[in-house]
Amino acid sequence: MKPLKIADKTFTSRLFVGTGKFGSNDLMREAVAASGSQLVTVALKRVEIENENDDLLAHLKLPGVNLLPNTSGVRNAKEAVFAAQLAREALQTNWLKLEIHPDPRYLLPDPVETLRATEELVRLGFVVMPYIQADPVLCKRLEEAGAACVMPLGAPIGSNKGLATREFLRIIIEQSNVPVVVDAGIGAPSHAAEAMEMGADAVLVNTAIAVSENPAEMARAFRMAVEAGRMAREAKLAPVISGAQASSPVTPFLNDLNDLL
């Protein structure tokens, strides 16, 4: 499997995981370790960034694991930029998962504020990973603004509905010059494998692991699915053939070409 490069970092794991919703910080730590993930998101609202002994952060001190602070809770670009600067200083990382979802119901991202914040944060030297709607044009705009990758959603956060935005993800993957990380909605390892087979560069999973009855085991399952999907992609999937090919209206026309070809 080819490693994945985002900004200045190289990842051998293409599974990123979230740290919310776990029944305890111990379960969370076990699951993160089992996932093999090298990039884990942490909600700034959940941690005391100025407290060195913050329990959640302490549980994430694992070899090879990089923190990716997220701005969940902010409503606009101004708030996101401010929070990002505090996080950079306290957590010593310029990586940021940009989340601006002013709608608390479905937690859907605000495209206008996200683009605005990305422009500003890139200017300030951040590695910006924006969470966004599966909107191909918006993805190109974010790429032009200097986003390190794009993180389109498969389905609303926490819905476990899989790749409901499949057709748009396909276009995004086809057009993107930066890595595409499918985020949100991935509820089963098969969804993750499907995203990887489609050509996504990585996936981000949280709820499906955190609320399963055995989070560590589920994390392992996702790890394997992501690897399987990526391997299949690199080995090139055989095309899907629909129906038999014996004869079709085009056959005589093709036969006419025999002399020519």
Partner 1 sequence: METFYDVQARYDWETVRKQIYACTPADVERALEKERITMDDFAALVSPAAAGYMKEMAAKSYAVTRRRFGNVIQMYVPLYLSNFCSNQCVYCGFNCSNKIHRVVLNEDEIRREAEAIRRKYKFQHILLVTGESPAKASVEYMGRAIEIMKEYFSQVSLEVQPLEADEYRYLMDRGLHAVYVYQETYNEARYPVYHLKGKKRNFRYRLETPDRLGEAGMYKIGLGNLIGLEDWRTEAFFMSLHLRYLETQYWQSKYCFAFPRLRPYAGEGAFNPNYPAGEKELLQLICAYRLLSEDLELSISTRESSVYRDKIMPFGVTTMSAGSKTMPGGYADEDDTELEQFAINDDRTPAQVEAAVRAKGFDPVWKDWSLYLQESCIGNAR
Residues that bind partner 1 (CB under 8 A): 20-25, 44-49, 71, 73-76, 78-79, 82-83, 86, 102-106, 158-160, 207, 210-211
> What is the closest distance, in whole angstroms, from the C-beta atom of residue 156 to partner 1 in the complex?
10
Taking the complex as a whole, the smallest distance from the CB of residue 35 to partner 1 amounts, in Å, to 17
**Residue 129 dihedral angles phi and psi, to the nearest 5°:** -120, 95
> Which residue, 219, 221, 108, is CA-closest to 158?
108
Q: Which is nearer to partner 1, 8 or 50 (CB)?
A: 50
CA distances from 132 to 18, 138, 192 (A): 16, 8, 18
Separation CA 227–CA 112 (nearest Å): 34
Alpha helices in the chain (DSSP H): 25-35, 55-59, 77-91, 111-123, 136-145, 166-175, 189-198, 207-210, 215-235, 251-256
- As measured in angstroms, the least distance from the Cβ of 254 to partner 1 is 48
Nearer to partner 1, 50 or 256 (CB): 50
DSSP summary character for residue 83: H
The answer to whether 192 and 232 are in contact (CB under 8 A) is: no
Shortest distance in whole angstroms from residue 83 CB to partner 1? 5
Our CB check for partner 1 shows the closer of 133 and 140 to be 133
Catalytic residue list contains 9: no
| Least gap, CB of 20 to partner 1 (angstroms) | 6
Nearer to partner 1 by Cβ, of 35 and 207: the residue is: 207
Residue 256: both structure tokens together: 């006419």
Catalytic pick among 45, 97, 140, 236: 97
CB of 79 or CB of 143, closer to partner 1: 79
Report how far residue 212's alpha carbon sits from residue 136's, in angstroms, rounded to the nearest whole number.
32
Listed in sequence order, the residues at least 6 apart from 67 whose beta carbon sits closer than 8 Å to its beta carbon are 40, 42, 57, 60, 91, 93, 95
The DSSP symbol for 239 reads P
| Residue 158 C-beta: closest distance to partner 1, Å | 5
> Which of 195, 188, 177 lies closest to 233, judged by CA?
195
Considering the complex, state which of residue 12 and residue 24 has its C-beta at the smaller distance from partner 1.
Answer: 24
- Residue with token string 């991935």: 186
Give me the active site residues, please: 97
